[in-house]
Amino acid sequence: MYSHLAVLMSLFSLMEVCFIGLCIGYLLMIGTLLYGWRLVTRKRIAPLFIDKSPSVSLVIPFRNEASNLPQMMRQVNTGIPASWEVVWVDDHSEDGSISVLRDYLEKHQPIGWRVVKNEGIGKKRALYVGIATARNEVIVTTDADILFHGNPFLFLVRELVNPEVHMVIGPVFSESTSGFFSDFQQVEWASIQIVTGVSCQAGAPLMCSGANLCFRRSSFFAVGGYDGNYTHPSGDDEFLLKKVVAKFGAGAVAYFHGGEGLVYAKPFEKWEALIGQRRRWVSKWRVHRSAVHGLSSLISFLLPAFFVLSPLLLVTGAISLLVFGFGWFCKALADWLALRQVIRHFGLVLKSTSVILSAFVHPLFVVAVGVGVARGKYTWKGRKSDLFF
């Protein structure tokens, strides 16, 4: 073993050996994720028995969504059965959202819809109000700007037929439009789905999205809801996830991998907006107080940062062009092999060139998000927040 290492050191500098080792480690990490994803997707999706579906309350908090509410209300009115309760929670909208909603209610008079006002401040408070006033045991949460066809939430609800399951995570992707920026967002969502699914499969759920989430109302109150997390403006979904795992075990959380349960987020039009959202998401990493979560967040930043710095290593002569090219080839290949599997699994169509190009752009994106988090402040829907308390 030592002789092999000596030969390697004679051919490459120490920095080059470290860079090659890092790239091989990246390949192994992505390969592990790909293997885990295949285990996730091999899980059999049982036939849908609607007669076994319990009573459901769909909770939709909104703030300044006047432009998105008309489409959302049409989707809910046509896709969600009248037997479901729909709770709309106004989080102090300032753009006439509540008038848009009430006008629709007066005109169409949908059955089972209720509008309540958030007496507190923030999305967690709004969600709590909706869940507390909900009349049914099964809660589904989503966002007012989400797009979907039919009733994807029904497939999540079906998983709760298993009494040992307390929370079900549904898949989310951005809607496909035109151009590389749209493709990049879908690739990024693919990376989120593979980590979400594999971490659940491994018994250590790391993330979920409140845009497509289902859980038992009794379980929500059993873990204390959002108590202890109200001061942080983000993370209603992940903080609740960690509480459910802590009380009921990792087996209490299921990930629904079927495309039937897929919902779509509207893609951003500008990089600044996308980076701003991810800053808000990433900002909660230190609040988790979890070694696993902290380590995964650190690795998720340091690996892309190292790739971003690699051109500097090339220019200064620390690594050769051959080693530099080998490293980026490994990264692009690994990303393409893994993420195209996720994209295809959900029946989405994306050009291979977009996936490969995203492999080169994504490290810069991650560093931009990380730098933004380090600055400590952001503004979201007219509210200024400090990332560190």
Give the H/E segment covering residue 242. Answer: helix 236-248
Q: What per-residue confidence (pLDDT) applies to 383?
A: 57
144-173 per-position pLDDT tens digit: 999 999 999 999 999 998 999 999 999 999
Residue 357 confidence (pLDDT) above 80: yes
Residue 154's alpha-carbon distances to 57, 72, 112, 185, 375, in angstroms, are 11, 17, 17, 26, 41
240-284 per-position pLDDT tens digit: 999 999 999 999 999 999 999 999 999 999 999 999 888 888 876
**CA 30, CA 66: separation in Å to the nearest integer?**
41
Helix (H, G, I), strand (E, B) or coil at 57: strand
Residue 379 confidence (pLDDT) above 90: no
224 pLDDT band, cuts 50/70/90, is very high
Helix (H, G, I), strand (E, B) or coil at 60: strand
- For 280-300, what is the mean pLDDT? 69
27-74 per-position pLDDT tens digit: 999 999 999 999 999 987 665 555 555 789 999 999 999 999 999 999
Residue 372 confidence (pLDDT) above 90: no
Q: Comparing C-alpha atoms, which of 305, 296, 274 is closest to residue 195?
A: 296
Q: Tokens at residue 293, please?
A: 């979560």
97-118 per-position pLDDT tens digit: 999 999 999 999 999 999 999 9
Q: What per-residue confidence (pLDDT) applies to 301?
A: 82
Q: What is the DSSP letter of 319?
A: S
Residue 8 confidence (pLDDT) above 60: no
**Kind of pairing, strands 85-90 and 167-169?**
unpaired
Rounded to an integer, what is the distance from CA 104 to the centroid of its chain? Answer: 30
Residue 388 confidence (pLDDT) above 50: no
**CA 283, CA 350: separation in Å to the nearest integer?**
30
Residue 123's alpha-carbon distances to 91, 142, 210, 340, in angstroms, are 7, 12, 11, 33
**CA 226, CA 322: separation in Å to the nearest integer?**
51
Q: Which residue has the higher pLDDT, 347 or 52?
A: 347
Sign of CA dihedral 175, 64, 283, 181: positive
Q: Which residues are 386's β-sheet partners?
A: 377
Q: What percent of the chain has pLDDT over 70?
A: 86
State the amino acid at position 58 in one-letter form. Answer: L
- For 306-335, what is the mean pLDDT? 90
**CA 335, CA 356: separation in Å to the nearest integer?**
7
Give the H/E segment covering residue 359. Answer: helix 352-375
Q: Comparing C-alpha atoms, which of 54, 46, 254, 52 is closest to residue 164?
A: 254
Q: What per-residue confidence (pLDDT) applies to 1?
A: 53
376 pLDDT band, cuts 50/70/90, is low
Q: What per-residue confidence (pLDDT) applies to 289?
A: 61
Residue 20 confidence (pLDDT) above 90: no
**Kind of pairing, strands 263-265 and 172-174?**
parallel
Average pLDDT of the chain to the nearest whole number? 88
Q: Comparing C-alpha atoms, which of 211, 95, 236, 67 is closest to residue 143?
A: 211
Helix (H, G, I), strand (E, B) or coil at 135: coil
